[in-house]
Structure 1
Amino acid sequence: IIQKVMQGAKSLTNADRSTLWLVDYQNNELWTKIPQADGSWIETRVPMGEGFAGKVAQTAQPVNIPFDLYEHPDSEIAKQTDEKTHYRTCSLLCMPVLSSDGDLLAVTQLVNKRKFGDFGEYDPGDWPVVPDHFKASFNEKDQKDMEIFNNQVGVVLPSIL
């Protein structure tokens, strides 16, 4: 279900990738499961306050970093992750998912706003070159759309966890 939810977020904003980071208050972490090329899933955890998603979890404020994210002073973790995965992060939109009571449930993370057009898929063999279709930024409309989207997720999420 969560994968379908985040597929909707990708479609809504024309993002290349999306992740729903769930809050684990007991361990003061965010966690998610990321699909692998072989069809398996790997669980990933980050401490609250670490990285862009962790900062959103800590402050409950959105973070919208335009192209080129590598020029942002807090991009070191993204650069390190990209070096390991051979994926090039160029833009990012992270937003809190709150319950109807205002409690933080999760953080949505959208990576790489895609330009519209007939572009192929990202080729990890090209890393670290930026493909033309990633030379875009999430805009105010994307952020407003995701705020509405996250409000709906915040209503549904407690019933599926």
Structure 2
Amino acid sequence: MIESRSATKEQLLMPWIAQFPGEPGSAGAARRMVRDALGCDPRTEEAELIASELVTNALLHSASGQGGIVWVMVAYKSEAIRIEVTDEGKHGEPLSGRNPEEAEDFGRGLAIVDALAQAWGAHGEIDECHTVWAELGPVGAKHVRCQEQDQSIRAHGV
């Protein structure tokens, strides 16, 4: 259970990590966790949106959304805020069964992350888990996209 309190930057040097069930309500729970962790930081709303998009992608595109779990981590890294979402990896079924009309309303999650984050990327973990991370730099920091994405993650659209 996450306490509802505002944290100082010094308190966040130790990351907040939570595990959520692979269900739609977990995106909202991840937003609340980020809000609780960051408190009054001016980047809190952007961090909440990034966490929500990354959790939603994990649930849609991995085994986590098939009754599994996702892990969310938020911490300060120097002056940056780092958010990581780890899923349970690829599931054996096709990623999307949407018809073309429905598909037009989806697929913007990583574009939103790219627009908000100073840097973001992804990497594989042991046991086929995948982690997608994003960093919000200091207020007003220049946006740079990380080129170190794992090829297998990009191939799966996560």
TM-score, structure 1 as length reference? 0.25
TM-score, structure 2 as length reference? 0.26
